[in-house]
Structure 1
Amino acid sequence: MSEIVEITGLGTEGDGVATNAAGAPIFIPQALPGERWRVEEGYAPEPVELLADRRRPPDPDDEPCGGCVARHMPLAMYQEWKREFLVRALRQQNISADIQPLITVSEHTRRRATFNTRRIRGEMRIGYHGRRSHDLVAAEDCPVLDKRIVELLPALAQLASVVAGQEEETRLAITLTDTGADVDLEGNERSLRAAARAKIGEITGAARMARVSVGGVPVIERQAPVLHFAGKAVTPPPGAFLQAVPEAEQAMIDLVTAALGKAKQVGDLFCGLGTLTLPIAQKARVTAFDADRNAIAALNEAQRKNQGLKPFTAKPRDLFRDALSPMEMKDLDAVVLDPPRAGAKAQCERLAQSKVKRVVMVSCNPATLARDLRILIDGGYRLDAITPIDQFLYSPHLEAVAVLTR
């Protein structure tokens, strides 16, 4: 039997939340608080009464990928939904904070993406996995991708077909650099025959890509891929981590450098290619660490090639297993951390024991950020500011920059 339910909230995956007659919660994709929907077991929910200001009507034939779940939300509701990820995480750690306004980015600005490819009826298709499925969803209409990536999708599918050989599926990553696209496909570079290499070269040249690698090993490099951080050039190794959206990256750089103030000695932990190292090194001496040896090598090469930087040290080190000790940080005025989603628990425990006066944390996971902030606050730090950044539009992911002092 069908019943009509009222949507009373939003779930963390963007679904509308309601309660049925039995008192059980139900989650309805594309539904919004204030709307009424008809639900019946075995059938797709149907809208009965919709908000007038929703940005997109419900579409049962819509094939969203696993990323965009919130394109239908009115702007104010969407921004509050995003902000709530941070609010909830801080509340769970009993942290009160004056959260700054959400920094947003524009559509069609994502310069980095990972695609799945699949051979369907003899043709290699490219796209994303569907939401909660392995169905392949086309990426041509993706609202967040830089349109230059969209234009390259046919060429990427051709590359995948060559590299995959008889395999039905593979994956590839693409990054738009300042000198052209940098592509890295799954596979074994050593297994490529001469004809395959020639075809890769032909596709790369026609599409004017900078570099194509297989399994992290360059196969064709028409010109070195180059990125710029605060005007300083870096050539990334294949598959290197990079902030997905330049606008978000610049917001992080601005927030971090402003928070450092007049610090003269700065530690940059989980530094990667030097997204923050190079801007900071224009005013302060930096000691940088990251577990990715190839990224560290690229950062050291950038130091040799760029002018206008104070001398800095960049070394490979796994900070999860070997966090910097308080003694190693005794000469630092400030420490910047930009860890992966797992956060920096071990390093924050060491920081809490140190005498470092200022800590700036960049995070892509509100839950682990809040956990790490709790460690630092319990160690004597004060949370001065925290700013959410909506780098991944329409997704349940949120970045943030937090500033602490003691």
Structure 2
Amino acid sequence: MRLTIERLGRRGDGFAPGPVHVPRTLPGEVVEGVVEAGRIDAPRILQPSAERVTAPCPHYRVCGGCHLMHARDGFVEGWKADQVRRALSQQGVAVEIAGVRTSPPRSRRRAVLSGRRTKSGAMVGFHFRASASVTAIPECRLLHPDLMAGLPALEALTLLGCSRKGEITLHVARSRNGLDVAVSDAKAADAALRGELAAVVRAHPIARLAWNGEVVALSAPPTQAMGRASVTPPPGAFLQATEEGEAALVGAVRDAVAGTRRVVDLFAGAGTFTLPVAERAEVHAVEGDSALLAALDVGWRGSTGLRRVTTEVRDLFRRPLLRAEFAAYEAAVIDPPRAGAEAQTRALAEARVPVVVSVSCNPGTFARDARILVDAGYAMAPVLVVDQFRWSPHVELVARFVAPGRRERA
């Protein structure tokens, strides 16, 4: 069947009339292929888009790590900005895009990889597209060179921890002192295996190794820079995907709260925004994970030149901060998970916190929560789009909201 691609869906795949799902295509392209269950899995491109480029990675056709490597960078940036515009438009909210900041190739400093044993050794990589199979990624254009250099170590861990027909998951992140590796779904670590794992850590640039939730080897603290502070997050903790992406987000947040003296940071994590903001203002960090807040607190106490930081362990989905609790703060930073934070946003709107800075990884839930603030009279400044998941459909953003009656600065 011959079809013309009309649009891209929110996951970056093309759709033709029907609708027919056609992966790895672009709007305007004419394709041909066999339609099965509403999709063409192996399309032949008859008329390519002017936005199409040759994917720079040799693994692209099979690897599931990237989705939009066949499109020109400018097209991807525009498409991601449009995702934000469309989501807000569906909520009846007008928006101006301040720009798109895209992380460069080979900049991903954290990844979740899969490991399997093979007849000749071990394989570590990403899953095939829509498949349980794993593909090796020796020439990956996405991951930071330090992660790529660690692949032999991850293969060695796979040989030790994976059964012949099983699969292990490897969370790996670049730190100041080497790789921070957390392995799950692996064999239980008995005394003999612990010794072998320690030998792998000694032989490779691994700062810390966690095995099925337990730290089994530590050669150096896997510290991360958060502003002036050094933080050692717990194993497998959330970390912004690229240093460039984090810098863009942090810079936007700091600019948005400039001039305020007391800030509350909601869903604070290990201090990505708390600690840089504390260079200029007192911050109260609220987070549901006590281990993350403990790491934040240690990082703050070990730093100099920071204002006072307090912490509170609290499930903000079950117990959002209430109107009266916001009375002491001039600004709130909120960075919820993909589900957004509807209840907490309603409390912010009711409290009329002078400045609200929203960081989001989901345009849909961001738009829903933005509508709450706009309906309460808040003015939304231009939105900065941050693309640190290069070649993927994921979108992140930062937006500043100013309460009614408060004059927006020039």
Name the counterpart of 1:137.
135
Structure 2 counterpart of 1:197: 194
Tell me the equivalent position of 1:314: 311
- Deviation at 1:291? 0.8
For residue 37 of structure 1, the aligned residue among 31, 34, 39 is 31
1:338 matched to 2:332? The reply is no
Of 200, 204, 208, which aligns to 2:205? Answer: 208
Match in the other structure for 1:74 = 72
Partner residue, 2:20: 26
1:26 is matched by which residue type in structure 2? V
Counterpart amino acid of residue 247 in structure 1: E
Cα 1:311/1:167, change in 2 over 3 Å: farther
Change (3 A) 1:143 1:376: same
Structure 2 equivalent of residue 11 of structure 1: 9
Structure 2: segments with no counterpart, 5+ residues: 404-410
Q: In structure 2, give the amino acid aligned to 1:353.
A: E
**Which residue of the partner structure matches residue 88 of structure 1?**
86
8 Å CA contact retained: 2:345, 2:373: yes
Equivalence map 1:243-258=2 (5 Å): 243-258=240-255
Q: Paired residue for 2:408?
A: none
Which residue number in structure 2 is paired with residue 154 of structure 1?
152
Q: Is the 8 A contact 2:107 2:242 kept in 1?
A: yes
Q: Secondary structure at the match of 2:351?
A: coil
Residue 386 of structure 1 and its aligned partner are, at CA, apart by 1.2
Structure 1 position 318, deviation (Å):
0.8
Structure-1 separation of matches of 2:390 and 2:261? 36
Change (3 A) 1:245 1:59: closer
- Alignment-mate amino acid for residue 349 of structure 1: R
Task: Report if aligned partners of 1:330, 1:354 keep a CA contact under 8 Å in 2.
Answer: yes
**Is 1:65 aligned to residue 63 of structure 2?**
yes
**C-alpha displacement of 1:310:** 0.8
User: Does the 8 Å CA contact 2:360/2:397 hold for their aligned counterparts?
Assistant: yes
Q: What code does the residue aligned with 1:69 have?
A: H
Paired residue for 1:238?
A: 235
1:219 Cα offset (Å) = 0.5
Q: Deviations over 1:217-259 (max 9, x none)?
A: 2111011111111231111111111101110101011100001
Q: Give structure 1 stretches of 5+ with no counterpart.
A: none
Supply the distance in 2 between the matched residues of 1:348 and 1:59 (Cα, whole angstroms): 41
Distance in 2, Cα, partners of 1:111 & 1:75: 20
Give the SS at the match of 1:102.
strand
Q: Larger deviation: 135-144 or 312-321?
A: 135-144
Cα deviation per residue 1:52-78 (whole Å; 9 max; x = unaligned)? 552117999953433411111123322
Whole-angstrom CA distance in 2 between matches of 1:60 and 1:301: 43
8 Å Cα contact 2:124-2:137 kept in structure 1: yes
Structure 1 match to 2:260:
263
Distance 1:59 1:291 in 2: 39
In 1, Cα distance between equivalents of 2:336 and 2:35: 44
CA RMSD of aligned residues (A): 2.2
Task: Please state how far the C-alpha of 1:39 moved relative to its aligned partner.
Answer: 2.9
Partners in 2 of 1:53 and 1:188 — Cα distance?
43
3-state DSSP class of the match of 2:325?
coil
Partner of 1:301: 298
Amino acid at match of 2:83: F
- Checking the alignment, whether the CA contact within 8 Å between 1:128 and 1:137 is kept in structure 2 is yes
Aligned structure 1 segments of 4 or more residues deviating by more than 4 angstroms: 57-62
Specify the alignment match of 1:355 in structure 2.
352
Is 1:186 the counterpart of 2:180? The answer is no
- Residue identity in the other structure for 1:136: V
Secondary structure at 1:327 match in 2: helix
Change over 3 Å in CA distance of 1:56–1:318 after alignment to 2: same
Please give the secondary structure, in 1, of the residue aligned with 2:98. coil
Counterpart contact for 1:267–1:336, Cα < 8 Å = yes
Aligned residues of 1:99 and 1:387 also touching (Cα < 8 A): yes
SS of the counterpart of 2:393? coil
After TM superposition, the structure 1 stretch with the greater mean CA deviation from structure 2, 377-386 or 297-306, is: 377-386
**SS of alignment partner, residue 77 of structure 1:** helix
- The correspondence of residues 395-406 of structure 1 with structure 2, limited to 5 A, is 395-406=392-403
Question: Aligned pair in 2 of structure 1 residues 67, 87: CA closer, same or farther (>3 Å)?
Answer: farther
Please state whether the residue corresponding to 1:201 is helix, strand or coil.
helix
- Asked if the contact 1:182/1:238 (under 8 Å) is kept, the reply is yes
Mapped partners of 2:144, 2:238: distance in 1: 17
Q: Quick one: distance in 2 between partners of 1:343 and 1:318?
A: 14
* TM-score normalised by the chain length of structure 2: 0.92
Normalised TM-score (structure 1): 0.93
Shift of 1:92: 1.1
Is the counterpart of residue 107 in structure 1 residue 105 in structure 2?
yes
Aligned-pair CA distance for 1:142: 2.3
Q: Which amino acid aligns with 1:146?
A: H
Residues 9 and 17 of structure 1 are in contact (CA less than 8 Å); yes or no, is this contact kept in structure 2?
yes
Shift of 1:268: 0.5
- Structure 1 distance, partners of 2:179, 2:238, is 15
The residue type paired with residue 337 of structure 2 is P
